[in-house]
């Protein structure tokens, strides 16, 4: 019988031989509207044993689980993590500084917030440059590392909750359904109404070019 995915992710981190492992990830990088949310999660592997680690048995990459499962995993991570850090980067910052630069700066800040006591720092995919704490970029890290997967859950759930709030402020755009990503319906509304105050105007999107003046 195969092990639960969460056990495989936890084993990846344990093999690092460190007590405190920090993971960082983001949500919303490819979105047309809304903020970029970056999160960092610190796991204390000396404490994560027996019943204390069981809530993380089903931990997985946020993209691989349903919204309801993400909410349940979010509560599990909050209950098990030694520390959590989150930063919300608004669309105005993304437009001013660029998406990639904003993302790297946010991920660096998350690792800095957890170091010390973090002894090993993992980030999903990107090298963050020499100014960041010493870290390892793990390709598809949210599918391999428990700390990165936990950060992906925190970032995704936090961002989805924010997008639902923005849906109440801008109900015409359907943010509660697509959480800011490009869909045919989202593009059609932008063409008809123009972008809202929370759209990323620096993105090269056809619907912007076709929007009403």
The 3-state DSSP class for residue 59 equals coil
Q: What is the full DSSP assignment across 27-55?
A: E-TT-SBS-EEEEEEEEETTT--GGGTGG
Strands (E), the chain: 20-27, 36-44, 83-89, 120-124, 136-138
| pLDDT per residue as tens digits for the range 195-213 | 999 999 999 999 999 887 5
Q: Do the Cβ atoms of 146 and 16 come closer than 8 Å?
A: no
pLDDT for 147-184, tens place per residue? 999 999 999 999 999 999 999 999 999 999 999 999 99
Quick: pLDDT tens for 43-76.
Answer: 999 999 888 889 999 999 999 999 999 999 999 9
Residue 139 has pLDDT above 50, yes or no: yes
C-alpha 210: how far from chain center:
31
């Amino acid at each position: 019988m195969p092990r639960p995915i969460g056990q495989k992710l936890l084993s990846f981190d344990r093999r690092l031989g460190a007590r405190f492992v920090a993971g960082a990830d983001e949500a919303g990088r490819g979105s047309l509207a809304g903020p970029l949310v970056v999160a960092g999660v610190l796991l204390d592997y000396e404490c994560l044993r027996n019943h204390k680690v069981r809530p993380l048995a089903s931990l997985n990459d946020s993209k691989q689980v349903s919204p309801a499962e993400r909410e349940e995993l979010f509560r599990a991570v909050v209950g098990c993590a030694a520390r959590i850090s989150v930063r919300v980067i608004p669309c105005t910052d993304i437009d001013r500084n660029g998406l990639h630069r904003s993302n790297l700066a946010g991920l660096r800040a998350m690792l800095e917030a957890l170091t010390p006591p973090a002894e090993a720092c993992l980030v999903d995919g990107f090298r963050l440059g020499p100014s960041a704490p010493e870290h390892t970029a793990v390709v598809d890290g949210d599918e391999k590392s428990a700390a990165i997967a936990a950060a992906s859950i925190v970032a995704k759930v936090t961002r989805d909750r924010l997008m639902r709030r923005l849906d109440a402020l801008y109900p015409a755009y359907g943010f509660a359904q697509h959480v800011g990503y490009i869909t045919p319906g989202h593009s059609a509304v932008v063409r008809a109404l123009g972008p809202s105050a929370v759209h990323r105007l620096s993105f090269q999107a056809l619907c912007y070019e076709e929007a009403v003046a």
